[in-house]
Amino acid sequence: MPLNIWIDCDPGIDDAFALAMAAASRDKLRICGISTVGGNQTCRKVTENALRLSSFLGLADVPVVKGAEGPILGDVKPADDVHGDTGLGNCRLPDGGKELASENAVLYMGRSIENMGEDERITLVPTAPLTNIALLLKTFPHVKEKIQQIVLMGGSAGSGNATPYAEFNIWTDPEAAAIVFQSGIPIVMCGLDVTRQCGLFRSQMEELLESRGPVKHAFGEMLEFYFNSPSYKKRSLACIHDAVTILYLTDPQLFQGSYMDVEVVWGKAEERGRTVCRPSGQMAAAGISAGNRVFVLNQADLPEFQRILLEKIDRLEDKNGNGKGV
């Protein structure tokens, strides 16, 4: 039986890869919905991208819903330098004519989860700031019992990428992240510790770019932007952070991790957005309330990650010049 998943995203180049990985894995994953949130770009832009991507990748049957404009406190700070002005680098996807199923993602998600069968459970897969997920848990607290786990891209046990301490998704909305990490729902944290090990090399990007297949070419154009962005100048590997969530679900043998207690630093602290990770048990021993055990991924098999990712993108190519969900 495929696993029920819900993808909450801000596409975003690596979010686009995550959607592609899910579209190519429909034998293992039932994608119940895709919601958007302001993060990499404004909510308007990432929602437009999500609609176009879902048509392009053969996910026309999956509802796309629009979520929070920005974090609970403050505003979105678009990552133009990493994802470009549209959010998808140099790639311009066709308008597939798909329309939003709702302009209120939280309400739509809450109702969809409520309406699931008695024995059904769902895995939430946020690859963006956790604003929608926190609002969902506050608005529909009773749906918690239907949420089997949250497999998220965010956080770091080591250094950050938005600040020396904080990873971008958690840094964008630490208050929301604190709510989610304290929810008691089992969490798998695909943070920078593992996602920095997962990506494609320049030569692989060039091969995608030179391909005549529209899906491969489009992903080559997205990655080309990463490689040309100032923050990537000296790097040989373009990290595809968000795809780790989906590959963890479909191919868990690629990854290793350990259980940690994770505390999110929020408020006005200098380390705002930091995810402080301590081996499980340590916080309880120090007398601080634990109860937010998180499985933190820390190792990946890069050659296998690349092989499976490229094979899945290839699987999406169809002879008619469009993507096909498989």
Three-state helix/strand/coil letters over the chain: CCEEEEEEECCCHHHHHHHHHHHCCCCCEEEEEEEECCCCCCHHHHHHHHHHHHHHCCCCCCCEEECCCCCCCCCCCCCHHHHCCCCCCCCCCCCCCCCCCECCHHHHHHHHHHCCCCCCCEEEEECCCCHHHHHHHHHCHHHHHHEEEEEEECCCCCCCCCCCCCCHHHHHCHHHHHHHHCCCCCEEEECHHHHCCCEEEHHHHHHHHHCCCHHHHHHHHHHHHHHHCHHHCCCCEEECCCHHHHHHHHCHHHEEEEEEEEEECCCCCCCCCCEEEEECCHHHHCCCCCCCEEEEEEEECHHHHHHHHHHHHHHCECCCCCECCC
8 contacts ligand BDR (rule: CB under 6 A)? no
The nearer residue to ligand BDR, 102 or 169, going by C-beta atoms, is 169
Per CB under 6 A, the list member of 4, 35, 40, 132 interacting with ligand BDR is 40
Per CB under 5 A, the list member of 6, 7, 8, 12 interacting with Ca ion is 12
How many CA within 13 A on the CB side of residue 128?
40
Is residue 142 flagged as an active site residue?
no
CB of 12 to Ca ion, least distance (A): 4
167 contacts ligand BDR (rule: CB under 6 A)? yes
Per CB under 6 A, the list member of 76, 79, 91, 125 interacting with ligand BDR is 79
In the block, residue with structure tokens 């897969």: 125
Give CA–CA dist 6/19, Å, rounded. 11
102 contacts ligand BDR (rule: CB under 6 A)? no
Binding region for ligand BDR (CB under 6 A) out of 9-17, 62-70, 197-205, 281-289:
9-17
CB of 34 to Ca ion, least distance (A): 13
The nearer residue to ligand BDR, 153 or 283, going by C-beta atoms, is 153
Taking CA atoms, 268 is separated from 73, 74, 272, in Å, by: 11, 12, 7
Binding region for ligand BDR (CB under 6 A) out of 25-33, 92-100, 166-174, 208-216:
166-174
The nearer residue to ligand BDR, 137 or 153, going by C-beta atoms, is 153
Q: Which amino acid is located at 161 in the chain?
A: N
CB of 324 to Ca ion, least distance (A): 24
Site for ligand BDR in 224-253 (CB under 6 A): 241-242
How many CA within 13 A on the CB side of residue 275?
37
Catalytic residue among 83, 142, 217, 241: 241
The nearer residue to ligand BDR, 24 or 153, going by C-beta atoms, is 153
8 contacts Ca ion (rule: CB under 5 A)? no
Contact by Cβ (8 Å): 303, 311? no
180 contacts ligand BDR (rule: CB under 6 A)? no
The number of beta carbons lying within 10 Å of the beta carbon of residue 95 is 11
Binding region for ligand BDR (CB under 6 A) out of 8-16, 43-51, 204-212, 253-261:
8-16
Per CB under 6 A, the list member of 35, 123, 132, 169 interacting with ligand BDR is 169
Site for Ca ion in 124-153 (CB under 5 A): 127-128
The nearer residue to ligand BDR, 7 or 79, going by C-beta atoms, is 79
Per CB under 5 A, the list member of 15, 251, 261, 263 interacting with Ca ion is 15
Binding region for ligand BDR (CB under 6 A) out of 28-36, 55-63, 165-173, 176-184:
165-173
Site for Ca ion in 234-263 (CB under 5 A): 242
The residue ranges that bind ligand BDR (CB under 6 A) are 12, 14-15, 40, 79, 82, 127-128, 153, 161, 167-169, 241-242
Catalytic positions, written as ranges: 241
